[in-house]
Amino acid sequence: MMVGSELLPHGALKGVKVLDLSRILAGPTCTQLLGDLGADVIKVENPKTGGDDTRQWGPPYVTDADGNDTDLSAYYMCANRNKRSVSIDIATPEGQAQIRALAQDADILIENFKPGGLAKYGLDYDSLKSELPGLIYCSISGYGQTGPNAAKPGYDLMAQGYGGIMSLTGEPDGAPMKVGVGIADVMCGMYACIGILAALRHKEQSGEGQWVELALVDSQIAWLINEGVNYLTSGQLPTRRGNGHPNIKPYGTYETADGHVILAVGNDSQFERCATFFGLADLPKDPLFATNPARLKHREALDEALIPAVKSKTTAEIIQGLEALKVPAGPVQTLDQVFTSDQVAAREMQISMESAAGDVDLIGNPLKFSRTPVTYRKAPPVFGEDTDDVLSPDGGFLAGK
């Protein structure tokens, strides 16, 4: 937590009520963020399937006292803390009535059914907006509610492929590669959270709810960032460069005497100090390498000199030496090194919570607030553990539940 200010015992979104009809990763990422910020989140799960699909995406799973797997897979837990799990079958009239009753108390409803998928149950935005004019209704789909691909299902891998990021990822002579985690889903969830918070601000000012609609593919295209605008500006298709950078050189991973190191040389003065450290003091004086544009143009020639020089030193020697010269350099850590680091401990990026199935370790929220810190109030729930509580006559979104 940040030091120097009096911390309030709740998040900034205390009192905000979220009805979560989403599953897998994009929607749950969004609602976990809202929950961490203090919102009360009710997660609706399908009793016919045993709940969110990711409950079955294991191993690993949390085991109970007898050593048996529970339905708390690691994948499910990564995006479902600070929520209450309620078992409701929305395909039944009773389930539809329960959702509508919960929506009466909700500020936000989020869903990721296929476009039109909730209309047959009377739970789409058009069916609810007249009855609930203040409701913020967020829909996430693969390709969006409009366009020729609207009816196609959306998965992270499909979005990475269609949205172009796979064409940029991988070794120059290798196959297109996805990112190692479901980054299209995660980024879509973050965009959804931003959109919902903007809509919440509007609601506070006007009393009006609205429909927030976004697609995995749209958000994937949005975070092509510099490579996307590089193409739009030049008309030239970018090529895969492995861990290299399209606009900075040297910037990437290099083999050392005992492993690998990251060099992130962002300007010409850093390059001069970097080259001198590796015994290549003449390189910055050469017009082929004196400026970043020149180094980009002659990147292969630069690597011919730099690669063997880097490989002659150990990773620790390079990091220590370059950090002393104010040249960015760092390790390529495995996850055991990440989560045992002093930095992770200092920043509280690993947390422990007590769940219905036992203690669980989770990744912390990166946001730090001086007044309204994130809170970890409820571990990822086992399927349906809060159904009776929420659906009781005095349940729902009552404070303190």
Per DSSP bridges, beta strands 40-45 and 17-21 are parallel
Mean pLDDT of the chain: 95
Q: What percent of the chain has pLDDT over 70?
A: 97
Element (H, E) at 178: none
Structure confidence by residue, pLDDT tens digits, 19-63: 999 999 999 999 999 999 999 999 999 999 999 999 999 999 999
Superfamily of domain 17-224+342-391: Crotonobetainyl-coa:carnitine coa-transferase; domain 1 (3.40.50.10540)
The answer to whether the bond into 287 is cis (omega within 30° of 0) is no
Residue 157 pLDDT > 90, yes or no?
yes
Confidence of residue 394 (pLDDT cuts 50, 70, 90): confident
Q: What share of the chain is helix, strand, coil (3-state, %, to 5)?
A: 35, 15, 45
Residue 346 pLDDT > 70, yes or no?
yes
State the number of CA atoms in the 13 A half-sphere of 84 facing the CB: 23
In 3-state terms, what secondary structure has residue 108?
strand
Residue 401 pLDDT > 50, yes or no?
no
Q: What is the mean pLDDT of residues 270-276?
A: 97
Q: What is the mean pLDDT of residues 117-144?
A: 97
* φ and ψ of 175, to 5 deg: -80, 155
Report pLDDT for 396: 64
Structure confidence by residue, pLDDT tens digits, 289-326: 999 999 999 999 999 999 999 999 999 999 999 999 99
Report pLDDT for 301: 97
State the Cα angle at 103 between 98 and 106, rounded to 5°: 135
Q: Tell me the pTM.
A: 0.93
Report pLDDT for 124: 98
**How far, in Å, CA of 16 to CA of 38, rounded?**
8
* C-alpha distance from residue 94 to each of 50, 87, 123, 388 (Å): 18, 12, 13, 15
Report pLDDT for 140: 98
Look at the domain 251-334 and name its fold.
formyl-coa transferase, domain 3 (3.30.1540)
Report pLDDT for 5: 60
Helices (runs of H) and strands (runs of E) counted in the chain: 16, 13
Q: What is the mean pLDDT of residues 314-342?
A: 97
In 3-state terms, what secondary structure has residue 296?
helix
Report pLDDT for 399: 43
Q: What is the mean pLDDT of residues 163-190?
A: 96
Instruction: Report the largest interatomic distance among the alpha carbons of the chain, rounded to a whole angstrom.
Output: 79
Structure confidence by residue, pLDDT tens digits, 223-245: 999 999 999 999 999 999 999 99
* 185, 258, 303, 389: the active-site residue: 185
Residue 4 pLDDT > 60, yes or no?
no
Q: What percent of the chain has pLDDT over 90?
A: 93
Q: Map out the domains of the chain as residue ranges.
A: 17-224+342-391, 251-334
Q: What is the mean pLDDT of residues 363-390?
A: 96
Return the C-alpha torsion angle 308, 311, 313, 318, nearest 10: 100
Residue 274 pLDDT > 90, yes or no?
yes
Residue 400 pLDDT > 60, yes or no?
no
The residue to which tokens 């910020």 are assigned:
37
Q: What is the mean pLDDT of residues 108-128?
A: 97
In 3-state terms, what secondary structure has residue 262?
strand
Per DSSP bridges, beta strands 69-73 and 251-255 are unpaired
Which of these ranges, 15-29, 211-225, 238-252, has the smallest mean pLDDT?
Answer: 238-252
Strand runs labelled E in 6-96:
17-21, 40-45, 61-63, 69-73, 83-87
Q: Residue 324 burial by CB count (10 A; 0-12/13-18/19+): exposed, middle or buried?
A: exposed
Residues whose CB falls within 8 Å of the CB of residue 340, separated by 6 or more in sequence, listed in order: none
Contact 124, 118 (CB under 8 A): yes
State the Cα angle at 285 between 282 and 289, rounded to 5°: 95
185 carries an active-site annotation:
yes
In 3-state terms, what secondary structure has residue 97?
helix
